[in-house]
A and B are shown apart, each in its own frame.
Chain A
Amino acid sequence: MASRAQRMPRSLRIASSAFVLFWFVLAAFPFIWTVWGSFKVELDFFSIADWTNAITGERTKAAHGSPFTGAGYYGAWVQEEFWRNVINTGIVCVFVVCTSLTIGTLGGYALSRSSYNYTFWLLITALIFRAMPPITLVAGYLLPFFQWNLWGILPTTIIVLVAINQPFTLWMLHSFFKNIPKELDESAKVDGCNQFQAFRRVIIPVMWPGVITTGLFSFLLAYNDFAVTSMLLSESNRTMVPEIAAFLGTTYTEGNVMFAVSAVVSATVPLFILVMFFQRQIVSGLTAGAVKG
């Protein structure tokens, strides 16, 4: 796909590839290590007796007769019914991403196209809103939610996650929309479209790289959130992350770390599929050539 302008001399290509490789190791090593370790017993995974045990699986051999065991996966998925939490996370993620992208795209587009001063101040206010630590916000929600019987259910958590992530979504989409030249929708308006039609016909087709990227972050936020989900969901509606935290145990009693580790590894699979599926959408899309004319 690289155009002629981007073709590189060999030395730079090598340096660039070496850097990618370096980053790859840095980013993936702890995870690959975790995948490897998830088939071991806890004493090997956190082998403080001798770190090479984590590779050879010495204690795993003693306990299971082979250096690998699926005990952690069995415990998490069968014994603890982790799939329930996966379904909950799925529901939360889908609704959070759809809702926040829908209302965020409308808002972000409006902010990028209006030139009145108040748009700037709205953006700043949104930013200041985001500065509020989520734990304080959640502590404030508890009492009214309990009072109105909204506590513990998925819809409440979805709305809260959408709302507290709106400032981020707005800012991100606003930045992307500013990169889409105004001439595009203005020419559409000249052709007789109203603002919404211009948005639908002209902007929507070219906005996907930004929207998909923003959606990815909304998704990750909903997927990884602990502060909100751990406080606002009842035990039966838990998503994955609070459940993983529950596997870890408390001060007085032991958890089962290997359940948690296997759960984390399995939780990464849908993300892998998702990223592979959407990376084309991130790559293709708006090119400057479409603007000129």
Chain B
Amino acid sequence: MFVKNLAVAGAFAGLMGTAAFAAGHGCEIGARVSIVGNEFPAIQTVGAGAQECTGAEVTTNLTADHQKINVAGMQGNPAEYTSAIIANSSIVALMNEDVIRPLNDLVETHGDGLQPGQLIRIGGDVMAVAFMANAQHLMYRKDILEQIGVEPPSTYEEMIEAAQMIRDQGIMENPIGGAYAAGWNLAQEFNNMFLGFGGQHFKPGTAEPSVNSEAGVNALNMMKALSEYMNPDFLTHDSNATNAEYRAGNIALLNMWGSRAATQTTTEGVTDAVKNGHAVAGPMTVGGGSTPASTLWWDGWTVAKNISDAEAEATFLAMKNAIRPAILEDAEVAKQAVWLIEGYEPTDAAVGVFEAAKAGTTPYPMLPYMGLMHTALGNELADFMQGKESAEQALADVEAAYTAAAKEKGFLQ
């Protein structure tokens, strides 16, 4: 109820004009702020929110290539960027190079209004403030599932059964979709499945790989089984291509990013069958496990290390202003993401991500060497998916490729 009242209040505030709106929040800063980050709509909103602050210049550079420039842009002294917007996979690159500062003192003085869950703590230090969450979960066509008379699958095994039924009844030839494009996407699907089977990427406390395990082989075999129900070109399908298949009505079941749920059927020209049949559910489990075969992600902002304390303070204030609860009063903004901001009420599209969190989905590992493992998986698993080599061989290749990379980066001796 509280949220609804807030929304009404927000509507009034909106009527009073944006200038008054911005000034009313009194975000006054005393030093430059410069933000680098990805460019999707939710982050554009955050960038614009930071720029509402007055008193000093706030610049943003929001680009898909942010990961390639943020380390270099924060290594100088003073750093070009005072804040980088990152996810749990990419914060490690900044921490590895030691370019972001702990926010403990800033949280203490200015942290009112941030929820404890938003603070990303690494070894007792707050290193980032998260503002949105993401996870891959099930999307399906409820009309098709009704037609064959099954419930939405809660496990991958059920997904295959449903797919077989859809195929047998001649509704669709290849009912399952998945972002299995060789490279980052394929590796991510493996991570999901591997964690669902209870696998651990590394031997605890070390950088030694342990993907060539029973869980790894099971994960690969499950992916292979799923791929039998996919379009034969699946190794070239990234999430854009997979979504295109879904919208064209060619597939009925897919594991897809929650951040894409809201726009799934709003694109121009989607057929009514897809529009009305579209539904989302939580991520599936696999192999009798209880942890969903998915990973939980967050996006958040950091503050650079090589800048003056005044700039750090200004950055903290501007970024906090950008993610203040009031931004959710705009219904468009509320739909943009699964916000981790106080007062956020999940929209229909956000159900999947919340289900993922509730079911105890593992967060994507925040390890210094996880990026190397992800790259190695992406490069070496395609051979197995094409039937060119055995699962054991593919996983042995992954470990060998990872080991070479980890030795170079100094994680393994």
Contacts and interface: CB of A to CB of B under 8 A. Distances in A.
User: In the complex, are there CB atoms of A and B closer than 8 Å?
Assistant: yes
Interface of A: 41-44, 46-49, 59-60, 62-64, 71, 139, 142-143, 146-147, 149, 151-152, 230-231, 234-236, 242, 245-246, 248-255, 257
B267 A152 contact: no
A251 B238 contact: yes
A84 to B, nearest CB: 15
Contacts of A246: 39, 63-64
12 contacts: A43-B244, A43-B247, A43-B269, A63-B268, A63-B269, A64-B268, A142-B69, A146-B72, A151-B69, A151-B80, A251-B179, A253-B259
Q: Which label, helix, strand, loop or mixed, suits the secondary structure of the A interface? A: helix
A146 B73 contact: yes
Most chain B C-beta atoms within 10 Å of own C-beta, residue among A62, A234, A236, A255 = A234
Contacts of A143: 72, 75-76
Interface in B277-324: none
B41 A43 contact: no
B248 A48 contact: yes
Contacts of B96: none
B270 interface: yes
Given A43-B270, A248-B240, A254-B240, 13 more contacts: A42-B244, A43-B268, A49-B250, A63-B268, A142-B69, A142-B72, A143-B76, A146-B76, A245-B64, A246-B63, A252-B239, A252-B259, A254-B267
Contacts of A62: 269, 271
Nearest to A230: B65
A56 to B, nearest CB: 13
A43 B267 contact: yes
B240 A252 contact: no
B68 interface: yes
A235 B61 contact: yes
B344 interface: no
Contacts of A42: 244, 267-269
Interface in B60-104: 60-65, 68-69, 72-73, 75-76, 80
B243 A254 contact: yes
A151 B69 CA distance: 10
A59 B244 contact: no
Interface in B218-264: 238-240, 243-245, 247-250, 257, 259-260, 263
Nearest to A149: B80
Nearest to B64: A250
Nearest to A256: B267
5 closest cross-chain pairs (CB), A and B: A59-B269, A142-B72, A253-B40, A41-B269, A43-B269
B361 interface: no
B403 interface: no
A151 B70 CA distance: 12
B238 to A, nearest CB: 7
A46 B269 contact: no
A256 B243 CA distance: 13
Contacts of A49: 248-250
B406 to A, nearest CB: 20
A236 B39 CA distance: 13
Contact of A231 (B68, B243, B269): B68
Given A43-B269, A60-B269, A71-B268, A251 B257 contact: yes
A152 B40 contact: no
B191 interface: no
A47 B185 contact: no
Given A48-B245, A253-B40, A254-B260, A151 B73 contact: yes
Given A245-B64, A246-B63, A147 B269 contact: no
Contacts of B260: 252-254
A236 B59 CA distance: 10
Nearest to A147: B76
Contacts of B270: 43, 59
B134 interface: yes
B184 interface: yes
Contacts of A60: 268-269
A253 B41 contact: yes
Nearest to B65: A230
Q: Which of A62, A234, A235, A251 has the most CB of B within 10 A?
A: A251
